[in-house]
Structure 1
Amino acid sequence: MSKKPVILITNDDGISAPGIKALIEVMQEIGTVVVVAPDSPQSAMGHAITINNTLYVNQISKENDKVLQYSCSGTPVDCVKMAVNEILHKKPDLCVSGINHGSNSSINVIYSGTMSAAVEAGIEGIPAIGFSLLDYSWNANFESCKKFVKTIAQQVLQNGLPSGTVLNVNIPNVDEKEIKGIKICRQAKAFWQEKFDKRTSPFGKDYYWLTGAFVNLDKGEDTDEWALAHNYVSVVPVQFDLTAYHAIQELNNWEF
């Protein structure tokens, strides 16, 4: 009888988010689950780590619970580091992050705490996936995406991932019957056209809310944005080596 894989679960919406509860349910069907997630929402934290404050980790699961769960006062990346070094004391067989409430497609991958947790796991040599559902509501329905989450996780456990690579998975917010399948994609070229909403407090002090509109400049039919718009689950392999190899030759021609 084969031993069940150890699966680390984290997120950026916080340990009480419905998305992580849905992910726990799916991963329990596959392996032995350990959860280490932020004790409060940490969306858009990117790859931030805590270096100037103390970190606290609290076990919130009961003795007879099937899943060990810990809340961490830090960022999603902190959670992965703490899990490997202080809780598991070893690398899990798989790290899954999410299921995020909202999109992490295209340029959003840069800002995403969900994906940064997966990337951190990848840096440590752990196969990792970030899952997101295109529904920002706290009461989002995750039933339609569970089947795809399970399939992708099982494929990663079975096949592994190329060195230096993690997966960014986004799932359209439609009924399961309307999802056409899973599509391997590239990241669309897009950006946020940002605007700051300036207001004044009752005490006369100016403050700002960041707002903006998402602008997709990419018309390719091989992108994550195209796939999601056409009701496919998008899977983008993400590398954490940020070297722009195509620019090296050009820079070597400069006169330094």
Structure 2
Amino acid sequence: MKILISNDDGIHSAGLWVLANHLRTVGSVTIVAPDREQSATGTSLTLRHPLRVSKVASQLEGVECWATEGLPGDAVILGLEHVLEKPVDLVVSGINNGPNVGDDVLISGTVGAVLQAYLRNVPAIAVSTFNIESTNHETPARLAAIIAKDIADGKLSGDIFLNINTPDIPLDNIKGIRLCHLAHKTHIDTVKEGHDGRREFYWLVRRKLDLEAADGTDIKAIERDCISVTELHVDLFRTAPISNLETLCQEWFKKLESPK
């Protein structure tokens, strides 16, 4: 199995390397990621100036690593169309620090990266933890490897675009994996004003939601200490899931709970 990994936090992100370490147990892993942090860039692409790609030293034996100029979507396109020889069996983006849930998937660089894989008919998974300062990357990385193995074994359709968010708590405290739909809410809806001595300026600020999320949504799953799995599409709010995805979520949690 040939796996491409990218992200929006940049090539030096800790979560990226934990993810790569687990996925290399399933297949051949190559990293192609932005050379710097590129959060909240959504589905943007670089079309008006050239991009450079540089091979960089890898932290893991057997994992080749490339840093790209540009945005997360650029990195995945460069990985699929230039760095790697086709076919690629899976593209995974993450592990992102901070939630990518609800309406915020539309501005997420983590999700925007793997959208480029999905549009090219490559299975795509975005993985995030709910705390922007999280160091708890083992659980989402293990889950990504479990799902990758099911794709390799043909247990999961190749036409997938999954968005996964894990609560930032120990695995023993996680209560399950829930198949969800997107909450119709955004964390980025607060504007703070300031003044630099010459003129006013404004910050768009991420805040904690103060409204209760609806049952069945990704945000509600996290509030209940569960991992959320949301199947995305180009029509992001389509609700009909892959037929066996609910059953697979239960199987994935059993494998997470079992000893390594």
Q: Structure 1 length normalisation: TM-score? A: 0.85
- Measure, in 2, the Cα distance between the counterparts of 1:155 and 1:65: 24
Aligned position for 2:223: 229
Offset from partner CA, 1:147-198 (integer Å, 9 cap, x none): 32222222233334364x4000001110011112221111122234623222
Aligned position for 2:182: 187
Offset from partner CA, 1:181-221 (integer Å, 9 cap, x none): 2211111222346232222224x13222112543556422x
- Measure, in 1, the Cα distance between the counterparts of 2:189 and 2:22: 36
Residues 190 and 215 in structure 1, CA contact (< 8 A), matched pair in contact too: no
- Alpha-carbon distance, 1:145 to partner: 3.1
Provide the aligned C-alpha RMSD in A. Answer: 2.1
Asked whether 1:177 is paired with 2:182, we answer: no
Residues 23-38 of structure 1 mapped to structure 2, 5 A cutoff: 23-38=19-34
Query: What is the DSSP-based 3-state SS (H/G/I as helix, E as strand, rest coil) of the residue aligned with 1:97?
Result: strand
Query: What is the DSSP-based 3-state SS (H/G/I as helix, E as strand, rest coil) of the residue aligned with 1:25?
Result: helix
- Alpha-carbon distance, 1:91 to partner: 3.2
Asked whether 1:206 is paired with 2:206, we answer: no
- Measure, in 2, the Cα distance between the counterparts of 1:46 and 1:9: 17
Q: Structure 2 length normalisation: TM-score? A: 0.83
Aligned position for 1:196: 191
The number of residue pairs the alignment matches comes to 235
Larger Rg: 1
- Measure, in 2, the Cα distance between the counterparts of 1:199 and 1:126: 44
- In the alignment, structure 2 segments of 5+ residues that lack a partner are 239-260
Aligned position for 1:111: 107
Offset from partner CA, 1:102-151 (integer Å, 9 cap, x none): 111111211100011111100000001000011201x6231243332222
Amino acid in structure 2 at the alignment position of 1:174: I
Amino acid in structure 2 at the alignment position of 1:226: K
- Measure, in 2, the Cα distance between the counterparts of 1:58 and 1:68: 11
Query: What is the DSSP-based 3-state SS (H/G/I as helix, E as strand, rest coil) of the residue aligned with 2:131?
Result: coil
- In the alignment, structure 1 segments of 5+ residues that lack a partner are 245-256
Q: 1:168 aligns with which of 160, 163, 171?
A: 163
- Measure, in 1, the Cα distance between the counterparts of 2:29 and 2:178: 27
Q: 1 or 2, which has the higher strand percentage?
A: 1
Query: What is the DSSP-based 3-state SS (H/G/I as helix, E as strand, rest coil) of the residue aligned with 2:144?
Result: helix
Pick which of 191-200 and 101-110 moved more: 191-200
- Measure, in 1, the Cα distance between the counterparts of 2:237 and 2:206: 29
Asked whether 1:20 is paired with 2:16, we answer: yes
